[in-house]
Structure 1
């Protein structure tokens, strides 16, 4: 195949000619195009009390609209195009009654979320996606608008197996917006290459479904190696999952993590030899999750579901993902891993809840959740409970910091119809012990959320 370089004038002329030649009525042009997406509204009311007579509350209105257009396949090629409106990241509360992200005025942004070609050859069970696409991996969250521009190939020629390989020269994670951009959802991208390989296996037997997956990631000047693995089993009632992630992060002076994490904030007479020119993050990180679940609706006609789990780590830190609220880890609770109160975070990109360079962190978290459905399974009420401990030993610090915490989260959801769901929860988090980030002994945090989501 030969590629011709055209002058600007020739390109414009060719474009005009093509447009005139293939012009057609709008009804014919959109025939066969599939449209999917959702409209979502969230109201968050957050409360914070650091135990030193310093409390604060913050209410935000968050609007999101997603529409994805998929053109019909022609000669084994289809094109996808998506648009997005989101004020999720532009939610900074100001002073004196002023702030952004409050649902009025200019909030959020509107733009192209996906733009790619999908190639599906007839001779093989292979799909190749080229262009701007959502990053749906165990360490990212496509639902949180994590995206990459590059190529992803999926192959399922071997029965029961799916293999994936991806290379992206730029990518965007919502955690980057949360922590380090000044304009809210301004489309900031990381321009260091991201590579991934994966193998996924699943088989149905007389004893239930057995599954396994293994992912590997490399990001230049950020992640030297990151792996995620899962073993799972489930039948009509019970399910079990073992999950483990291991990350070796590049926290050198030239790493992009050094730009995202400011120099160490650990100072004072109790600290000696704390580095000030490295990313504030441990190099060796891992996380282990054991999850046990049961749903008694199908076999026993009892609309009750339960799950129990344990979370811990064995390396120096827990930063094993690129998005702390979008991993495949099967947690219960809503906020215990998403704030500084517990000093726990799984995101390598957020400067919160992670131990500093040269420090050691050990967590142990137990959780349980129960839910009951009624009114033809349209109404569900549930309760999550989490108890955890985080012991952090800062490099150069004379003593360890030991935080105990509990989270209690009642939930409710109503499925009005197949498109519209209304849901909400109230998460209450209590911590006890000196916090290595804020220095406060005890903290209370709470979040009330109401969500209305219409899918189409």
Structure 2
């Protein structure tokens, strides 16, 4: 029986790894098994003025070699039941720092003892004949608008997907433990050290898509609940696209748990602003704004198919209406259609969409207002192998408490990009992101700050 073809854009990749309870020749044991995945190398070189660029930064620079290997083993479904098994090697901490530490040595050095290796997925997959339903039980990737399966976000539990109604896919999931890769190291909440959150996570979703003579119309709605962390989180999207143009409206709303028992209290210590104003002074309370939201408008166009011009562009606007912007679990979530590379990932701008990251969130009792405009353009050449692009972002982030302004930061980011598709398996890419901020920063006190990141990536997919 073949796997159900799902319309769920963020659904996990389904597959199976077949094992037997009896001994048999290796050739027979691996017959029919499909292996897919990738090998990836990244070199990052971050340059900045103060120790606040990202969660692993050191003073003035943070250069790293990073290696990652993913292999997923899939086998044909037998009697409507299969198993999915994946292995992962992910080394994200090989600092180089180019002699900026005394006496010119640093942990790892790019060639020292390296990092994490283990089982990334291990689950049973059930696909009954009588219904267009797939049920996944066990350890699996969390592919939702507020998490990022590509960043190895995972959960252990059950996920059910149903497409019996034409054009619709419904999903329901319950996970008793889960792991978010992009959580600040040292908080024991699911970073690359192998720890995980043990508070239950529940999810419901409905996705609709229909093709018409006027293009494809789509809609999706997600709801989440996390015990002692997130009382309610919703994500919705309306979209339309044809051969050339696409439009998307996205909105996320979160009500976070600020009670004494909330796990967010350990992540977000009291925020101290100017004039010794302390936000979130209630003992043991999670010091993060309870009401959060984010609204994104994205317009795009690709002129290659209809007009034979290998040019693509997109424009967008990001803003919020509630007290904060903490509406995701991983701020690298792929749902929001941003441009740029840095502005939502460091304390210089003070913007983060993750409720689990201590950087950039509005404190309890404060109000945050952001307005971000972005644009991107790309041109493809050399038989569609070479693409060059340029992203531009302008934004403002203002945080106030009563009559006191804790932050009023303007910023711009310019990010040229280039990629070369050597063949169907191998792609080489890179970018140079330059971020400029202007305005008082409560962390460093600097008025004007510059950030830069150079990245080179080599990825082989199989």
Query: Do these two structures clear the TM 0.5 threshold for a shared fold by scoring above it?
Result: yes
Q: What secondary structure does 1:281 align onto? A: coil
Write the distance in 2 (CA, Å) between the matches of 1:274 and 1:171: 28
Match for residue 68 of structure 1? 72
1:23 to 2:23 alignment: yes
Pick the aligned partner of 2:453 from 421, 429, 447.
447
- Check the 8 A contact 2:201/2:224 in 1, yes or no: yes
What residue ranges of structure 2 are gaps of 5+ in the alignment?
A: 1-18, 52-57
Any gaps of 5 or more consecutive residues in structure 1? 1-18
What is the rounded CA distance, in whole Å, between the counterparts of 1:290 and 1:32 in structure 2?
A: 45
1:406 to 412, 415, 427: 412
**Which secondary structure state, in structure 1, belongs to the residue aligned with residue 259 of structure 2?**
coil
Shift of the 383–32 alpha-carbon distance from structure 1 to 2, 3 Å rule, reads same
Equivalent runs, 1:24-423 vs 2, <5 Å: 24-50=24-50, 56-88=60-92, 95-96=101-102, 97-100=104-107, 102-178=109-185, 180-181=187-188, 185-261=192-268, 263-266=269-272, 269-271=275-277, 275=281, 277=283, 278-394=285-401, 398-423=404-429
Q: Deviations over 1:223-250 (max 9, x none)?
A: 0000000000000000000000000001
> What secondary structure is seen at the aligned counterpart in 2 of 1:236?
coil
Misfit runs of 4+, over 6 Å: none
Partner Cα distance (2:66, 2:164) in 1: 43
Contact kept? 1:380, 1:414, Cα under 8 Å: yes
Q: Report the CA distance between 1:268 and its aligned residue.
A: 6.3
Q: Determine the C-alpha separation between the residues in 1 that align with 2:155 and 2:189.
A: 21
CA contact (8 A) 2:75 2:82 kept: yes
| Secondary structure, counterpart of 2:264 in structure 1 | helix
1:178-227 deviation per Cα after TM superposition (whole angstroms, max 9, x unaligned): 46349972211000000000000000000000000000000000000000
Give 1:155 deviation, angstroms.
Answer: 0.2
SS of match in other structure, 1:298: helix
CA contact (8 A) 2:157 2:175 kept: yes
- SS of the counterpart of 1:447? strand
Over residues 43-88 of structure 1, what are the superposed CA-to-partner deviations in whole Å (9 max), with x where a residue is unaligned?
000000259xx96112100000000001221001111100000012
Q: Contact 1:371 / 1:381 at 8 angstroms: preserved in 2?
A: yes
What is the RMSD computed on CA atoms of the aligned residues?
2.1
Aligned partner of 1:12 in structure 2 is none
Task: Assess if the C-alpha contact under 8 Å between 2:271 and 2:279 holds in 1.
Answer: no
Task: Go from structure 1 to structure 2 and tell me whether the alpha carbon gap of 1:69 and 1:237 turns closer, same or farther (over 3 Å shift).
Answer: same
Query: Would the aligned equivalents of 2:188 and 2:195 in 1 still touch at CA under 8 Å?
Result: yes
TM-score, normalised relative to structure 1: 0.91
DSSP 3-state at the match of 2:92: coil
Distance in 2 of aligned mates of 1:438 and 1:79: 51
Between 1:197-206 and 1:63-72, the stretch displaced more is 63-72
Q: Is the 8 A contact 2:223 2:235 kept in 1?
A: yes
Instruction: Quote the Cα distance in structure 2 between the aligned partners of 1:85 and 1:48.
Output: 29
Give the structure-2-normalised TM-score. 0.90
Number of aligned residue pairs: give it. Answer: 434
Shift of 1:413: 0.1
Cα pair 1:421 1:454 within 8 Å, conserved = yes
